[in-house]
Amino acid sequence: MKKMFGLILIFAVLSTGSVFANGNKEAAGDKQITIGLSVDQLFESRIATNNGVKAEAAKNGFKVIEVVADGDAQTQNSQIQTLIAQKVDAILVCAVDQNTIETALMKAKKAGITVISYDRDLPGSKSTSASSAPDSISDGLNCGKYVAEAIKGRTDKVVILELLGALNDQNGIDRSKGFNDALKGKNVEIIQMPTDWASDRALAATQNAFQANPNIAAIFAATDTQIPSIETVLTDMGKLKKIGEDGHVIVVGINGSYDGYVSVKNGTADGISVMDCKTIGETAVKLAIKAMKGEAVEKVVVPGNFYTTKNIEANKASIWGAK
């Protein structure tokens, strides 16, 4: 993931005189609504989601102030304080660490600022009005169902490597839950290795796992950006085989990156669950609009789509990383 330190971006669109006639926002005349976009860090899928936010904001004539924490929770905490001082009307936040920024988000709420979490749910938060997030449990479940179907008929215990995402990230937790739920009751052994979403850690974890368990038959990557690392290890061991070839190691993942798309298209990986980043971003703005009007809002989960080698090319247009 390419990080950008201390980055502050301003994305502004001309006001179209949007008016909130009741609820939290009084009739505003020509006052332009300003949304603070508090981003954990910039990488491909986050940019795709942010583009959805900006497109929906532009559609409504909103100004967006984007601040990027570069993966630093304390930086994000300070940036949220700055957004409060700038008197934004709403804050859309993708948290680096929920516990670190909850106090700042509560301060925003007390100041009358609508707070919506996006991409990453903040369970138990008292500051957020709602959230727009991927259906990570379903995404993991789809990957697990594919593996379960692929190993059906085997009588031996099947060893599966699970490369975990960040354990303080609800998406990482939910993806793992969904994957493991799909394989409950199956004759499998799941070896879990932490990676904190990092590709270099995924490479080392895959190497270590195969050294200890050379008969691994399937790999689940919590993010498909790690598939190139997996394939590097498989290539080095002479185990990189395409679907249908003897000795093929099943590989599935979640995200929708270009790397994941290419590997599935080529048949060295089996399938990926693709997030609908555009809709997640657009929905966050729509939730903020409703909340600012005083309307009831709640958590929205946006389902992804699971594509295999058989249908991924036909669905290329719906894969954010392949565009």
Same domain, 123 and 188: no
Strands 188-194 and 158-164: parallel
Same domain, 154 and 62: no
Mark out the alpha helices in 133-169 (DSSP H runs).
Answer: 136-150
Residue 1 has pLDDT above 70, yes or no: no
Same domain, 41 and 148: no
In a domain, 2, yes or no: no
264/221 Cα distance (integer angstroms): 13
Contact 76, 105 (CB under 8 A): no
For the four alpha carbons of 175, 178, 181 and 183, in that order, the dihedral sign comes to: negative
Q: How far lies 256's CA from each of 78, 129, 202, 263, 298, in Å?
A: 32, 28, 17, 11, 26
Residue 33 has pLDDT above 90, yes or no: yes
55/313 Cα distance (integer angstroms): 26
Distance of alpha carbon 31 from its chain centroid, rounded? 33
Residue 276 has pLDDT above 90, yes or no: yes
Strands 188-194 and 8-11: unpaired
Give the pLDDT mean for 5-29: 38
Q: Where are the beta strands (DSSP E) in 48-89?
A: 63-68
In a domain, 224, yes or no: yes
In a domain, 117, yes or no: yes
Same domain, 314 and 183: yes
Q: pLDDT digits over 232-255, tens only? A: 999 999 999 999 999 999 999 999
**Pick from 132, 133, 139, 121: which is nearest to 304 by CA?**
139
Contact 60, 285 (CB under 8 A): yes
Q: At what angle do helices 44-59 and 277-292 cross, to 10 degrees?
A: 40
In a domain, 323, yes or no: no
Contact 268, 240 (CB under 8 A): yes
Question: Quick one: pLDDT at residue 108?
Answer: 97
Same domain, 64 and 143: no
In a domain, 96, yes or no: yes
Q: pLDDT digits over 198-227, tens only? A: 999 999 999 999 999 999 999 999 999 999
Q: Which domain holds residue 146?
A: 136-275+309-318
**Residue 154 maps to which CATH number?**
3.40.50.2300
Question: Quick one: pLDDT at residue 16?
Answer: 33
Same domain, 257 and 295: no
Q: Which two tokens stand for residue 305?
A: 């789509």
Give the pLDDT mean for 151-162: 96
Q: pLDDT digits over 179-189, tens only? A: 999 999 999 99
Give the pLDDT mean for 110-124: 95
In a domain, 1, yes or no: no
In a domain, 182, yes or no: yes
Residue 154 has pLDDT above 60, yes or no: yes
Q: To the nearest whole number, what is the mean pLDDT of the chain?
A: 91
Give the pLDDT mean for 39-67: 97
pLDDT confidence band for 323 (50 / 70 / 90): confident
Q: Which two tokens stand for residue 115?
A: 């707070």
Say how many domains are in the chain. 2
Same domain, 271 and 281: no
Same domain, 243 and 226: yes
Question: Quick one: pLDDT at residue 30?
Answer: 62
Same domain, 40 and 80: yes
Question: Quick one: pLDDT at residue 25?
Answer: 45
Same domain, 290 and 259: no
SS3 317: helix
Q: Where are the beta strands (DSSP E) in 99-186?
A: 114-118, 130-134, 158-164
Same domain, 129 and 177: no
Give the pLDDT mean for 80-84: 98
pLDDT confidence band for 168 (50 / 70 / 90): confident
Same domain, 124 and 244: no
Q: What percent of the chain has pLDDT over 90?
A: 88
Residue 284 has pLDDT above 60, yes or no: yes
Residue 14 has pLDDT above 50, yes or no: no
pLDDT confidence band for 159 (50 / 70 / 90): very high
In a domain, 289, yes or no: yes
Residue 65 has pLDDT above 90, yes or no: yes
Q: How far lies 173's CA from each of 115, 123, 164, 222, 244, in Å?
A: 23, 12, 8, 10, 32
Q: How far lies 221's CA from each of 16, 84, 99, 260, 293, in Å?
A: 44, 38, 26, 10, 41
